[in-house]
A and B are shown apart, each in its own frame.
Chain A
Amino acid sequence: MITAEQKPLDEIRGTIASYQRILVLGCGSCVAECAAGGEKETGMLASTLRMAAKMEGREVLIREKTLERQCVKDFVILLDDVIHEYDAVLSLGCGAGVQAVADMFPEVPIIPALNTEFLGETKDQGLWVENCLGCGDCMLYHFGGICPLARCSKHLLNGPCGGSVDGKCEINPEVPCGWQLIIDRLEQHHALDRLEHIYPPKDWSKKQGGGPRKIIREDQQR
């Protein structure tokens, strides 16, 4: 999933300060799973902003709504009836959601309330970790299902570097060494011989070779 965290409240308040009618718009997908922009967080942020406005004695209309997904046109279009009551939308979608809403309603400023972080997994209650770079050419097979690009701080395909100590990364003793994890996993799979192989330079053109990427599936088009 795509993970995100709410921006600092002061930053949010700064970006909406010039608007009088604001729709706080949540998203029920990834950002709900990571407790940043779902229905609950959207309600809480809207109340906090209403309270803050009241304390300042400002007359501001703040309402809330949560779409199932902000990044899918079929859901964004549901805003068509209501969006023109507002002079700005504060979106708790990820960066893709914010832009999808803005593309459909270009006349309305869509302001991000979240910082979009990474592709990752929910590891534990309140713990999300990055484990995929979305490189466009998955190599997990070779590395026992652990991505060296996402989980080694230096993106080494032929690691570990000399800074791996007691299974920890040199950048921070809190960070597990991705390559130690790979070696341990390959050992479990009786595939340590893969470590002898020299993996060639990564083909980054699959990620950033032609500007923004797109997927076209004619069989899915109507």
Chain B
Amino acid sequence: MSRLKEILDRGAFAVTAECGPPKGADPEVIMKKAELLKGRVDAVNVTDNQTAIVRMSSLAACVLLKNQGLDPVLQAVVRDRNRIALQSDILGASALGIRNILCLSGDHQRFGNQPQAAGVFDLDSIQFVQAVRNMREQGVILGGEALSRPPDIFIGAAANPFGDPFNFRVVRLAKKVAAGAEFIQTQCVYNLQRFEKWMAMAADRGLTDKVHILGGVTPLKSAGMAKYMKNKVAGMDVPEEVIRRMEGVPSKKQAEEGLKICVETIQRLREVPGVRGVHIMAIEWEEKVGEIVERAGLLPRPK
């Protein structure tokens, strides 16, 4: 069973992290990251060729994490696989004991190291959520054919409260929930005001009672990274005050300032009605996840 589901269902505040697979076939990288995260988080997302860069497959890395005793979340994007491959991978993941999936559109292929690739986008993320839900609940694939055994998998989706148009963001969340999303991990929160407004709109529609929302955080390593995220990453909202705060300390102390901001954000997210957990995306900085969780007062993790 999904540990993440169990923790969320019993109303505990969940903590998830992210593990980016290597650009190579070395399982040791995953083992090392597993060691850093074990006991410090409840589940670990494994990214699926994020930013359209070729890496070890998410499913393979999930199995490596599972063998180390972690509860992996299989991230799966519709960019690279059509409905045949996606549904097949769900069955395979379930057979291998992977109990969580995060259904995503995926970063466009033009951002990565294979810009000549054909983008598949046969399903969109909402249709994908619905397909997985029907596989599990009705035991059927798209088109209605029955499965010999339905997959056993906890279904998640992403939400970006910082994309435009803002008023549509909760409509999209509602569609994901209606399609079958049971947990939501959000884009990195730096603009708490906007996030709180979005959560209030979600609560107004009754969505916070229907889905577990985990607020996303990413610790900033430097003022340069903050500016990069603000200017270069579409749909990322890094307010001026955060950038000024990072710039206001000497460069050697900026990483510590980034961690402080991250811990403060987590503490504030815990106070937002309807937030059921945090998702820590420490990009190639997994060694800091344990420290962040500890400083946020979220250790030890529930058994």
Contacts and interface: CB of A to CB of B under 8 A. Distances in A.
Q: Do A and B share a complex?
A: yes
Interface of A: 153-167, 170-171, 177, 180, 183, 195-196, 198-202, 204
Contact of A154 (B124, B172, B235): B124
B142 interface: yes
Given A161-B125, A199-B127, 17 more contacts: A154-B79, A154-B121, A160-B172, A161-B105, A161-B160, A162-B235, A163-B234, A164-B163, A164-B164, A164-B165, A164-B235, A165-B234, A196-B171, A196-B175, A198-B126, A201-B127, A202-B122
B178 interface: yes
A196 B164 contact: no
A204 B163 contact: no
B127 A200 contact: yes
A150 B98 CA distance: 35
Contacts of B192: none
Interface in B181-217: 187
Given A154-B79, A171-B108, A201-B83, A162 B127 contact: no
A180 B164 contact: yes
Q: Which 10 A-B pairs have the closest CB atoms?
A: A162-B160, A170-B234, A163-B234, A158-B126, A162-B163, A156-B124, A155-B121, A162-B235, A163-B235, A201-B127
B174 A196 contact: yes
A200 B130 CA distance: 9
B110 A171 contact: yes
26 contacts: A153-B108, A153-B119, A154-B121, A155-B124, A156-B124, A157-B124, A158-B124, A158-B172, A158-B175, A159-B124, A160-B164, A160-B168, A161-B125, A161-B160, A161-B163, A162-B162, A162-B235, A164-B234, A164-B235, A167-B164, A170-B107, A195-B168, A195-B171, A198-B175, A198-B179, A202-B122
